[in-house]
């Protein structure tokens, strides 16, 4: 089969919904509400309460030891007030997007393998954004989860043929090039198409588009994409080296400078990411 035939096969599956399960309607409604200036906590609660699994995750989070509440919170409205819009958006999008990583494709890459690596990138990207004082680290987390949905589409449609391409890469940075050589399209493009179908905002679309190149000449520095890029490069560095204090050296100087990443900051972000990774896995399994 030619590369163009593979491309047509993947795009047709994306169009008819067989490549990736549809994003939860509850999550799509919530994202629409978050873009509404006058939205209130009761509006959010009304939508969230229609999804018992999402409601349980939010209540578990607000009643965790981190918040140190004297009395347990029992309503989504109260939880939304305590957690705030950004954290509610973070949990809702993670809940909806993580469901896309559960479908098993016989002969393909185990979905838990893809999800685990994606979650590592997302937690580290969010931690780096936090230390960079980004106004919404939660949005960086969502962008990182969203950025790998194209891999899920490839895996579900091409299965063993895609797994063979992934096995040939030396670093994740090589993957889009190998995909394009074999299939005439890569997971970045497919992920962008999915993000547009699900009506995510433009800044998240840009983060998906530029996740492997946050310094495009035609657009200038892409901050949101740079957090994902840095997290991926740092994880690649850890996989290649036993010296965590060397991970910043794997970043282009312009990216390290723009993100204000020095060795101490990177190590602190790494520690925070490990803690969040463990906490998030527990929350998503509930």
pLDDT, tens digit (0-9, with 9 covering 90-100), for 144-182 = 999 999 999 999 999 999 999 999 887 777 899 999 999
Across the chain, mean pLDDT equals: 91
Give the C-alpha separation, 24 to 223, whole Å: 28
Give the C-alpha separation, 88 to 107, whole Å: 36
According to the model, what pLDDT value does residue 65 have?
86
285 pLDDT above the threshold of 60: no
Helix (H/G/I), strand (E/B), else coil: 129:
helix
Task: Report the range of poorest mean pLDDT among 64-68, 90-94, 269-273.
Answer: 64-68
Give the C-alpha separation, 207 to 236, whole Å: 19
Look up the pTM and report it. 0.90
284 pLDDT above the threshold of 70: no
According to the model, what pLDDT value does residue 92 have?
92
User: Quick one: tokens of 264?
Assistant: 């101490």
Q: What percent of the chain has pLDDT over 90?
A: 71
Question: CB 47: neighbour CB atoms within 10 A?
Answer: 19
Task: Specify whether the CB–CB gap between 105 and 114 falls below 8 A.
Answer: no
Give the C-alpha separation, 31 to 107, whole Å: 34
Task: Determine the length of the chain.
Answer: 286
Per domain, the residue ranges of the chain are: 3-16+105-285, 22-102
Task: Report the range of poorest mean pLDDT among 5-14, 127-136, 161-170.
Answer: 161-170
34 pLDDT above the threshold of 80: yes
CA dihedral angle for residue 210, residue 216, residue 218, residue 222, rounded to 10 degrees: 60
Q: 5-19, 66-80, 170-184: which has the highest mean pLDDT? A: 5-19
Contacts 24+ apart (CB under 8 A), 162-165: 162/108, 162/109, 163/107, 163/108, 163/109
Question: CB 118: neighbour CB atoms within 10 A?
Answer: 21
According to the model, what pLDDT value does residue 102 have?
86
CA dihedral angle for residue 69, residue 73, residue 76, residue 79, rounded to 10 degrees: -10
Q: What percent of the chain has pLDDT over 70?
A: 97
According to the model, what pLDDT value does residue 268 have?
94
Fold of 3-16+105-285: Hypothetical protein af1432 (1.10.3210)
According to the model, what pLDDT value does residue 226 have?
97
Task: Specify whether the CB–CB gap between 234 and 173 falls below 8 A.
Answer: no
Give the C-alpha separation, 184 to 10, whole Å: 10
According to the model, what pLDDT value does residue 187 have?
97
């Amino acid at each position: 089969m030619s590369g163009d035939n593979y491309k047509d096969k993947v795009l047709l599956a994306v169009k008819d919904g067989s490549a990736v399960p549809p994003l939860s309607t509850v999550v799509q409604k919530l994202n629409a509400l978050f873009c509404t200036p006058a939205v209130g906590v009761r509006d959010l609660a009304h939508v969230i309460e229609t999804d018992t699994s999402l409601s349980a995750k939010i209540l578990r989070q607000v009643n965790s030891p981190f918040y140190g509440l004297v009395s347990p919170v029992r309503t989504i409205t109260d939880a939304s007030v305590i957690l705030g819009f950004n954290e509610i958006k973070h949990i809702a999008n993670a809940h909806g997007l993580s469901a896309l990583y559960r479908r098993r494709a016989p002969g393909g890459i185990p979905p838990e393998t893809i999800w685990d690596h994606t979650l590592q990138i997302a937690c580290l990207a969010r931690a780096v954004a936090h230390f960079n004082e980004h106004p919404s680290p939660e949005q960086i987390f969502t962008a990182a989860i969203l950025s790998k949905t194209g891999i899920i589409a490839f895996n579900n449609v091409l299965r063993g043929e895609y797994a063979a391409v992934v096995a040939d890469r030396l670093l994740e940075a090589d993957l889009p090039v190998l995909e394009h050589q074999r299939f005439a399209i890569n997971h970045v493009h497919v992920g962008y198409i999915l993000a547009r179908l699900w009506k995510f905002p433009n800044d998240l679309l840009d983060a998906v588009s530029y996740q492997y190149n946050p310094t495009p000449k035609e657009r200038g520095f892409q901050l949101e994409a740079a957090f994902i890029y840095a997290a991926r490069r740092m994880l690649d560095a850890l996989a290649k080296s036993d010296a965590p204090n060397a991970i910043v050296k794997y970043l282009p100087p312009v990216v390290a400078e723009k993100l204000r990443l020095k060795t101490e900051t990177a190590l602190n972000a790494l520690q925070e990411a490990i803690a969040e990774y463990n906490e998030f896995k527990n929350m998503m399994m509930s």
